[in-house]
Amino acid sequence: MIDPRSYLGLKLKDDLVLELLAKHDLNIRYDIDVLHENIPDAYWVEDAAHGFTLKADATQLISCGFVYLRPRDGHKAFTGQMPGIDIVGGVIPTLGQPSKSGSSGDTSWVRYDRADLSIHLTIDLHGPSMICLMLPSQVP
């Protein structure tokens, strides 16, 4: 089974990433700052069929993973497993107390900061909808 956490911190040319690309027939999309807005370039690996997206920075380091808990933006719901991340009522009890939380309109979020990973859970009117996994260096 796929666990997007296993790709965080790897380069796009790492054998594990190349294996994922080949096995799932995926492509890498490169976004550049064509309007000169000082937005960093980024690489994207989208696996809509399995419900996740990986984001790499301009150095090709995978620093973020987005896990879709329900169908959204052309992605199916995530089909893999992430041991230790079990969502119960909008929180992840196995991770303890959230580091931060907030809301905007009908959407709320909780974030769990750990030494190796930050886990950001988005909750809307229908319940948990997405998890964003980030390397600690990427946390805003």
- In angstroms, the CA 1 to CA 35 distance is 39
User: What would the pLDDT profile of 103-130 be if each residue is shown by its tens digit?
Assistant: 999 999 999 999 999 999 999 998 889 9
Q: Which residue has the tokens 């950001």?
A: 120
Residue 102 has pLDDT above 90, yes or no: yes
Residues of the domain holding 49: 4-138
Which long-range contacts does 47-53 make (Cβ < 8 Å, 24+ apart)?
Answer: 47/2, 47/20, 48/74, 48/75, 48/76, 49/24, 49/76, 50/2, 50/24, 50/76, 50/78, 50/79, 50/80, 51/75, 51/76, 51/77, 51/78, 51/79, 51/80, 52/2, 52/4, 52/78, 52/80
Q: Which residue has the tokens 């294996």?
A: 19
Round the average pLDDT of the chain to a whole number and report it.
Answer: 91
| pTM recorded for the entire structure | 0.90
* Number of domains into which the chain is organized: 1
